[in-house]
Amino acid sequence: MSLTRGLYAITDSLLLADDRLLPYCEAVLKGGASLLQYRDKTRDQARRHDEALRLRELCERYGAQLIINDDVALALAVEAHGVHLGQTDGSLSEARARLPQGALLGATCHANLELAAAAEQAGADYLAFGRFFLSKTKPGAAAAPLSILHDAGQQSRLPKVAIGGVSLDNAASLLDAGADYLAVVNSLFAADNAAEVERRARAFVELIHS
């Protein structure tokens, strides 16, 4: 399935503790998210494998794609739809070579067009830029200007993902600046119940397709 535009939900092990992972992820998928990233920084390999497998099954039920953050081996083990790698997560070209044909490879490019060009050269399927707004999930992430989205579009035809503090209040500014996907953690998952998560996902998706 090729990438176009949409909502890219990213999990967070703190916000999704206490058995919230599956129901809240199902809620974003019901709300129309097309990409779901499993982002878990713990070292509990057995739990990570189990959760990733369940999320892959869930994504398949909703016609969405599961992307594994940081970990090519886990993506291969659970037959995920793809992997997202940052600048310190290993070689993109090696990941490309290890992944099966058709698997998605995403790359963090911060606010740097040279990183974007290198990622494209290495075989990335999308380019992620940010953080654009203050992020509760990753408060130390370096700021990126909205103009990087426009500039990246001049250089590449690959889909551009915007990340960092994305909310329903600022989403339109990112879409206007050229974002194809909105990658969101806190504004989706910091919610009291799954119905609210679904409502927020639906609102993002409506904005993206309006």
Ligand X SMILES: Cc1ncc(COP(=O)(O)OP(=O)(O)O)c(N)n1
Which tokens is 175 given? 């879409």
| Contact residue for ligand TZP among 138, 143, 153, 173 (CB under 6 A) | 138
Calpha distance 23→30 (Å, rounded): 10
SS3 89: coil
Neighbours of 53 (CB within 10 A): 17
Choose among ligand X, ligand TZP, Mg ion, none what residue 65 binds, the Cβ cut-off being 5 to 8 Å by kind.
Answer: none
Calpha distance 119→132 (Å, rounded): 20
Cβ proximity to Mg ion, 161 vs 191, nearer residue: 161
Calpha distance 97→178 (Å, rounded): 30
Choose among Mg ion, ligand TZP, ligand X, none what residue 164 binds, the Cβ cut-off being 5 to 8 Å by kind.
Answer: ligand TZP
Q: Which of 4, 7, 3 is nearest to 171 (CA)?
A: 7
Which tokens is 115 given? 């990183």
| Contact residue for ligand TZP among 67, 72, 75, 185 (CB under 6 A) | 185
Cβ proximity to ligand X, 161 vs 197, nearer residue: 161
What residues contact residue 16 under an 8 Å CB cut-off, 6+ apart?
Answer: 24, 25, 189
Please identify, among the stretches 59-67, 118-126, 133-141, 200-208, the one whose residues bind ligand TZP according to the rule CB under 6 A: 133-141
12 binds Mg ion (CB under 5 A): no
Neighbours of 118 (CB within 10 A): 16
21 binds ligand TZP (CB under 6 A): no
119 binds ligand TZP (CB under 6 A): no
Calpha distance 122→109 (Å, rounded): 13
Please identify, among the stretches 17-25, 92-100, 132-140, 191-199, the one whose residues bind ligand TZP according to the rule CB under 6 A: 132-140
Choose among ligand TZP, Mg ion, ligand X, none what residue 135 binds, the Cβ cut-off being 5 to 8 Å by kind.
Answer: ligand TZP
Q: Which helix (H) or strand (E) holds 110?
A: strand 104-110
> Minimum distance from CB of 10 to ligand TZP (Å)?
6
Cβ proximity to ligand X, 24 vs 129, nearer residue: 129
Instruction: Write out the binding residues.
Output: 37-41, 69-70, 89, 108, 135-138, 165
Residues within the interface to Mg ion (CB under 5 A):
70, 86, 89
